[in-house]
Amino acid sequence: MSLLLGPVLRHVGETTATVWVQTHSSGVVEVLGCSASTFEVQGCHYAMVLVDGLETGSVTEYQVHVDGEQVWPEPDATFPPSVIRTRGHTANDSLRIIFGSCRYPKTGDAKLDDKLGLDALDCYASRLPSLPVDEWPDALVLLGDQVYADELTPEARRHLAGRRSGGHRPPDEVVTFNEYEGLYRHTWGDPEIRWILSTIPTAMIFDDHDIRDDWNTSGAWRKEVNAKPWWRDRIRSGLASYWVYQHLGNLSPSELADDEDFQKVLAAEGDVWPLLVDLADRADTEVDDDKGLRFSYRWDLGRSRLIMVDSRNARILDSGDRKMLGNREFAWLKEHVNDGLDGVDHLIIGSSLPWLLPPAIGDMQMVNERAANRPGWRGKLGETVRQTADFEHWAAFAQSFLDLSHLIVDVATRDSGAPATVSVLSGDVHHSYVARADIPNAHARVHQLVCSPVHNYVPWFVKPVFKLGWSQRLARLTRRWAQHNGCPPLPFAWRDVNGPLFGNTLATLRTSGRDAEAIFEQPRGSESLDEAARVSLTG
């Protein structure tokens, strides 16, 4: 079969769409009369087809042809035909986004799969054909850990065991681009996942496991891992594969046309791996308080706006001045938050890592950052705690947390033209919740919406820690402790209005006019999910 993976429907506008595929060999890929030649990376072949000429507000079935041969839908397909649904102007400008993070693949190991439970996205995909097309989501937002490059399935471990010789590369972690290719094919290869990715526009951002656990936790972590003889190959392969499999599809056709790296890849002959090595090195290197490549992006969805923030690779660490986002990256975020905000009813910010943690845990991370910055053994102890306890969220970068908080406060308290809601979508922490920010004089309701995991197990210690973390009594104690240790005052308080929920979960953000709500569902059977929580974001 000439189609190895995909099609994956990515950015969709009012008259355009992008469709990504991986093919067995080089060729010309065609979708709805629009075509693109493949490009080659380490013997693997990919194409991004830019589809134009679609009608606004339309639903169009599509097929994929490679060198004139129809390769999608497959002959034995059991799901409905894949479609492209463009956005149009409706009376209430409704929007339905499904989102979540941390999706581990099926392993084939009965004991391990039973521990992981039912895949919420699989179940959602199986249920979807029974719903009218106009009730299908407008977008699927994947908030990190799309692949697990350091927590391998038994099959992936066996595959690597046959490839390793000598001690230069570890036997239990992927290092090469081809090994990453195997992870993506395994993770996205389920029939249910291939179909839903082919028919729901999908936005993605990475988190640490897409590269390696605790990736970019701190400058000390970077220094230690950079000393490993295999790391340079690993980070190049991880960032290059992310660019190919995830990042390209986040860009609109006009952005792809202006993207110098993409245009160089299209113009190159033969294997473009050297171009991707240069790209990965620029993305990984800090230059003048910034990174050499931006992975953050923006989607306009009618009167809603989605801004996805790279809160993992964009970190500034090597200089000793910890920042979740470099100065230029934060300036980009601020510009796109405020651009034409009068026409936005719902501002949605995606960050793989939660902005608002349980208050007690956030205070712990702020105190730990100050400890890790101290010289001598106290700083070393603080750094050990930072890495061991995964203190790497927004609160562990206190100045960046405050910068983002003040930006959101400015939006919510605008005298005129404030959106109805500001929602920060996140994952990572293997439980789900809704937190409401109590911002004085706010005209917009502000919430942190966390959905994690889509398909993974929850460690036993997570439940009591996060239940206790939301205690208001404990929060008062930890805030006094944090202030005693020199932590800055917080610009507002926040509290959980639902959760924490534990178990595999998929969340939906629904808007209608200036109303919005969040719905959390958990698998009950292979084709059904139960509603676990529903929260009004405007009531």
Is the sign of the CA dihedral 353, 211, 310, 225 positive or negative? Answer: positive
Peptide bond between residue 73 and the one before it cis (omega within 30 degrees of 0): yes
Confidence of residue 151 (pLDDT cuts 50, 70, 90): confident
Mean pLDDT value across the chain: 94
Percentage with pLDDT > 90 across the chain = 86
- Asked if 80 and 101 sit in the same domain, the reply is no
- Asked if 47 and 128 sit in the same domain, the reply is no
Query: Which residues constitute the domain of residue 70?
Result: 1-89
pLDDT 10s digits, 218-258: 999 999 999 999 999 999 999 999 999 999 999 999 999 99
Say which CATH number the domain at 494 has: 3.60.21.10
Instruction: State the pLDDT at residue 390.
Output: 92
pLDDT at 53 over 90: yes
Q: Look at residues 89, 117, 133 and tell me which one is the last residue of a structural domain.
A: 89
- Asked if 28 and 104 sit in the same domain, the reply is no
The DSSP line for 110-147 is HHHHHHH---HHHHHHHHGGGS-GGGS-SEEEE-S-SS
Instruction: State the pLDDT at residue 100.
Output: 98
- Asked if 15 and 128 sit in the same domain, the reply is no
- CA-based end-to-end distance of the chain: 52
- Asked if 357 and 377 sit in the same domain, the reply is yes
The DSSP line for 297-333 is EEEEETTEEEEEE--STT-B-TTS--BSS-HHHHHHH
pLDDT at 502 over 90: yes
Q: Look at residues 89, 123, 144 and tell me which one is the last residue of a structural domain.
A: 89
Say which CATH number the domain at 16 has: 2.60.40.380
- Asked if 334 and 385 sit in the same domain, the reply is yes
- Asked if 367 and 293 sit in the same domain, the reply is yes
Q: How many domains does the chain have?
A: 2
Query: Which of 65-69, 109-113, 263-267, 426-430 is predicted least confidently?
Result: 109-113
pLDDT 10s digits, 401-422: 999 999 999 999 999 999 999 9
Closest CA to 535 of 506, 504, 508, 503: 508
Is the sign of the CA dihedral 312, 314, 315, 317 positive or negative? Answer: positive
Instruction: Read off the pLDDT of each residue in 143-158 and give the average, rounded to a whole number.
Output: 88
Token readout for 98 is 């499904």
Instruction: Read off the pLDDT of each residue in 489-505 and give the average, rounded to a whole number.
Output: 95
pLDDT at 90 over 60: no
d(CA 263, CA 274): 14
d(CA 342, CA 419): 7
Instruction: Read off the pLDDT of each residue in 290-303 and give the average, rounded to a whole number.
Output: 94
pLDDT 10s digits, 373-383: 999 999 999 99
Instruction: Read off the pLDDT of each residue in 126-149 and give the average, rounded to a whole number.
Output: 95
Query: Which of 163-172, 268-277, 378-387 is predicted least confidently?
Result: 163-172
- Asked if 82 and 156 sit in the same domain, the reply is no
- Asked if 125 and 44 sit in the same domain, the reply is no
- Asked if 318 and 289 sit in the same domain, the reply is yes
Of 73-77, 270-274, 287-291, 454-458, give the range with the top mean pLDDT: 270-274
Q: Look at residues 35, 63, 89 and tell me which one is the last residue of a structural domain.
A: 89
- Asked if 100 and 85 sit in the same domain, the reply is no
pLDDT 10s digits, 448-484: 999 999 999 988 888 898 999 999 999 999 999 999 9
Instruction: State the pLDDT at residue 1.
Output: 61
Instruction: State the pLDDT at residue 124.
Output: 97
Confidence of residue 91 (pLDDT cuts 50, 70, 90): very low
- Residue 108's Cβ-count burial label (10 Å; 0-12, 13-18, 19+) is exposed
- Asked if 83 and 94 sit in the same domain, the reply is no
d(CA 117, CA 458): 10
More confident residue, 319 or 45: 45
Instruction: State the pLDDT at residue 337.
Output: 98
Contact 207, 352 (CB under 8 A): yes
